[in-house]
Amino acid sequence: MHLREKLKFYAEKFSARDDEPHGQEIDNKHAAVWMGEHIPLLDCQDPVLEEIYYFRWWVYRKHIKKTPEGYILTEFLPQVPWSGPYNGISCAAGHHLMEGRWLRGSDTYLRDYCVYWFLGSGREHEQDYSNWLIHAVYRFTRTTGNYDLASELFPYMEDSYKRWKIRSLHRCGLFWSSDNRDGMEYSAGGNGIRLTLNSYMAAAASALSRIAGWKGDKSAEVRYRREAESIWRRIQTMLWRPELNFYRGIRVQEKTGTPGEMAEMDEITGYLPWYFGLPFQFEGDAQVKRMGAAFSRLFDRECFYAPYGPSTCSRYPGFLEKKAVHPCLWNGWSWPFSTSQTLTAAAEYLQKNREKRGNTEFGRREYGELLLLYAGSHYRTDRYGRKSCWIDENLHPDTGEWEARRFLKEQGFPQEAGGYERGKDYNHSTFCDLIISGAAGIHMYEDGRLTVTPLLDHRWKYFKLEDVPAGGHLVTIQYDKTGERYGSGPGFQIYADGRLQAGFDSVPESVTCIL
């Protein structure tokens, strides 16, 4: 089947099974056409991974909303009372940008969205939830190769960074946040000096430094670089537990309170520093290699591993306890929000770690297994036994049942909680980005540098991503073990705008092309 025929098949399949209770700018009738115009095409040997890739793009376009201020991305399809103007919520906005940057014509939607948060009516609500918007703007503009937006928004992102410092800086020198305002209600670790906001702030300072460099502002470049390193050193001093080889937050009930005890369990937010590549910026290779051994915990059944996981914390005595009459609990339930953060962190680790070939506990194979596990969680079986693609809020890590949906359905989908099928087609995580920047390893850097560091292991027989926008070009990568699938000979090839850039007999470790 031709790739465009495959896309049409999936889009029509998903739309035929959808009652579309909450429509927005691009309805199901136009989904296939929109997807054909905007998304990179995937062909791979795993039918679940492939189906969910197309499903998640089908879901993403549902959340494109046209407003008087231009386009924004929503998190929930129905209007929810805790949102900002036009139903915007900042909690997962970083995910929206990281996913949407791979759309052809992404500027059409995402430029407006960035302006909404830093200049528009979203500005007053940007800090309703902790977020990594500044980092995501940096990554979005680096991917497209159009740096004007980041330069234009630079003073407003500086203002946001300063407001976060005024609002959340604790006297210990790190940042305080509540789990609720991290979008992680009733978490195992509780309120305090958490890995969330501290990682986001270090990443924001690092991104501001890079953008200042683009602008030629040497003073700001150096200042923010020093800020990022200062926050990082405090994270390492206060939150890194060398005896556990993992990060743990410190419980503090109030912003001004004295730091208390460290959490007694591991939380999956301990991987967040890797999401932003912070250890690679500020630690030596030997320390990075020691710290990276923490990724093996993702396969530890007493820690994060579960058949529909990973879980959001290790299996401590309060694991999955009903801590409150509330649909959203972060004390062990599996959340796609954090799963996609963790898989991004794992890809960053593997793609930047020079010693990954020697790591027998966590490598390409393990990354692939986790990605397939995540893909396999995107289903729901109805009361008639019919299985369909599904993405919602949180799920039971051992059974795969969508927990918030179950809870809200039992309550009759109360209007004050978002109404009918609140979490259906929830836009609170990434998936396609994990295929493009993770499995395929496509990254665009400054000066037209395209780096491809694929995480495909020896089990893959074929894999193709076609027309991925990067730096103003359309990039295609394909791997064909025997040469029979695509008719271009066996091996791994990279194309830009239809022209061969590089070819290899097998999947390469990493390759850089100047486009």
The tens digit of pLDDT for each residue in 44-74 reads 999 999 999 999 999 999 999 999 999 999 9
Residues of CATH 1.50.10.10 domain(s) within the chain?
Answer: 3-439
Residue 360 pLDDT? 55
Between CA 267 and CA 193 the distance in angstroms is 13
Task: Give CATH for domain 3-439.
Answer: 1.50.10.10
Confidence category of residue 510, pLDDT binned at 50, 70, 90: very high
Residue 297 pLDDT? 96
Residue 357 pLDDT? 46
Residue type at 102?
Answer: W
Percent of the chain with pLDDT over 90: 93
The 3-class SS string of 223-245 reads HHHHHHHHHHHHHHHHCEECCCC
Residue 355 pLDDT? 56
Between CA 109 and CA 106 the distance in angstroms is 6
Between CA 200 and CA 147 the distance in angstroms is 21
- Arithmetic mean of pLDDT, 34-45: 98
The answer, yes or no, to whether residue 129 has pLDDT greater than 50, is yes
- Please enumerate, as own/partner, the contacts of 406-412 that have beta carbons within 8 Å and a separation of 24 or more: 407/326, 407/327, 408/327
Cβ neighbors of 321 (< 8 A, separation 6 or more) are 331, 332
Q: Give me 112's structure tokens.
A: 């407006």
- Arithmetic mean of pLDDT, 488-508: 97
The tens digit of pLDDT for each residue in 451-490 reads 999 999 999 999 999 999 999 999 999 999 999 999 999 9
The tens digit of pLDDT for each residue in 290-340 reads 999 999 999 999 999 999 989 999 999 999 999 899 999 999 999 999 999
Confidence category of residue 358, pLDDT binned at 50, 70, 90: very low
Confidence category of residue 353, pLDDT binned at 50, 70, 90: confident
Residue 260 pLDDT? 86
256 vs 438, more confident: 438
Supply the angle between the helices 107-118 and 93-100 in degrees, to the nearest 10: 160
Between CA 51 and CA 55 the distance in angstroms is 6
Among 385, 392, 424, 383, residue whose Cα is nearest residue 308: 392
Query: Mean pLDDT in the chain?
Result: 96
Of 3-7, 197-201, 381-385, 497-501, where does mean pLDDT reach its minimum? 381-385
Q: Give me 130's structure tokens.
A: 């902790």
Question: Helices H, strands E: what count in the chain?
Answer: 16, 16
Separation of CA 96 from chain center: 8
Outline where DSSP puts E strands in 130-274.
192-193, 240-241, 246-247, 250-251
- Arithmetic mean of pLDDT, 76-101: 98
